[in-house]
Chains A and B, each alone.
Chain A
């Protein structure tokens, strides 16, 4: 039995108050084990990014608990949370979130360097991650000197470096063509299979099909789970 690395327990998230109140999440619960990839699908505005930012400790739930390995995120001190985020959680943002004044390789190596890993070693790990995304040759460019799809792959490479145990990806292939998307999901799946817990938000059913389970979210609630259990059915010749 694999260990549960990420757990959301009855998480609610309300933005704003009174007239402007938005119930982005209405009691979402979720467990992800080591080696398991869970995909989240749902319409625009259904709460997918909210769920992921809360799972990654970027937002605090209004009520409910978020547990990563043996930590309850809402109870951590800011410094402890920052360390956990840097060391344990790989996060791919929907809008990439690269630092414009750092080169591609510096962006990817940053979390390691902040943790005191020697620059040479951090750069080596960053280059490996970039090469796994097939963009090693872009290492010394700045984010505004590469294409949107390349920026997206830098963001994914950044989430791969270091001993991350939880990988959270928000539309990680939104800017990629289908061949590159497949390369990315294969690489992601390989990381997960090595014992990481992953959550993937996507609109692309082809991508979601690589997950062990697909959760469908509607109006802030998980309304359905589709597990990958059946054997392939015979397709028409």
Chain B
């Protein structure tokens, strides 16, 4: 799951400190994704090293605040707008990505869902094509077939889910509801900056 890209995505909305990022990501994914604070800090360090964000000094409680750099924005934007491969692990990332995306103003979630549907359909086609060529009467193929079928059913489930949320998004928009969230007030807790 991309902690890295999620942090960058939230930072496109404004400066945050580490603990605040953890809270933002948690609340924007319906509480379903709780990232270990240690992982947030280590990811922030790596992102800073890679030039995707920069620290902008600390606040009263000694918490370092971060700001996304132009190249960090580009990476966030790219993550938010591209489909992912259909592996079981990636599927969780997709759910988190979509949950975050609906909260971020200006993010074209419908386009993302559509891109994902096409991508998943292509995967399903490719899996089906390999299955078509398999000799069903060859017992040596059975283990492979079982796994292929799991992947096929997972693709189908994902497609049905995407179709369903496409409907949900359209209904939400038709009712004039806006799921975008601005950054909340940071809570007065969290790990202080490390003394370098």
Contacts and interface: CB of A to CB of B under 8 A. Distances in A.
16 contacts: A206-B153, A209-B125, A210-B128, A226-B121, A226-B122, A228-B129, A230-B122, A232-B129, A232-B130, A233-B85, A233-B86, A235-B86, A235-B87, A235-B127, A236-B88, A236-B90
A235 B129 contact: no
A34 B151 CA distance: 30
Given A205-B156, A205-B159, A233 B123 contact: yes
Report the interface size class on chain A: 10 to 19
A228 B159 CA distance: 16
A236 B89 contact: yes
A214 interface: yes
A145 B156 CA distance: 33
Nearest to A211: B125
A189 interface: yes
Interface of B: 85-90, 118, 121-130, 132, 151-153, 155-156, 159-160
Interface of A: 189, 204-206, 208-210, 214, 224, 226, 228, 230-236
Given A228-B125, A236-B88, 12 more contacts: A206-B128, A209-B124, A226-B121, A226-B122, A232-B127, A232-B130, A233-B126, A235-B85, A235-B87, A235-B127, A236-B89, A236-B90
B149 to A, nearest CB: 9
A226 B126 CA distance: 12
Contacts, number: 57
B168 to A, nearest CB: 14
B111 to A, nearest CB: 13
A232 B159 CA distance: 17
A236 B155 CA distance: 13
A203 to B, nearest CB: 9
Nearest to B120: A205
Nearest to B90: A236
Chain B at the A interface: mostly helix, strand, loop or mixed? helix
B85 to A, nearest CB: 6
A206 B156 contact: yes
Contacts of A224: 118
Q: Which of B89, B128, B129 has the most CB of A within 10 A?
A: B128
A235 B130 CA distance: 13
Chain B CB within 10 Å, residue with most, of A189, A205, A206: A205
A204 B155 CA distance: 11
A214 B160 CA distance: 16
Contacts of A209: 121, 124-125, 127-128, 152
A234 B127 CA distance: 10
A205 B155 contact: yes
Contact of B126 (A204, A206, A232, A236): A232
A155 B90 CA distance: 41
Contacts of B127: 209, 232, 235
A161 to B, nearest CB: 24
Contacts of A234: 85
B118 A226 contact: yes
B165 to A, nearest CB: 14
Contacts of B121: 205, 208-209, 214, 226
Nearest to B127: A232
B159 to A, nearest CB: 5
B3 to A, nearest CB: 18
Most buried by B among A189, A209, A234: A209
A236 B90 CA distance: 8
A228 B131 CA distance: 14
Which of B87, B123, B126 has the largest count of A CB atoms less than 10 A from its CB? B126
B87 A236 contact: yes
Contacts of B156: 204-206
B87 A205 contact: no
Nearest to A214: B121
Contacts of A236: 87-90
Nearest to B126: A232
Contacts of B129: 228, 232
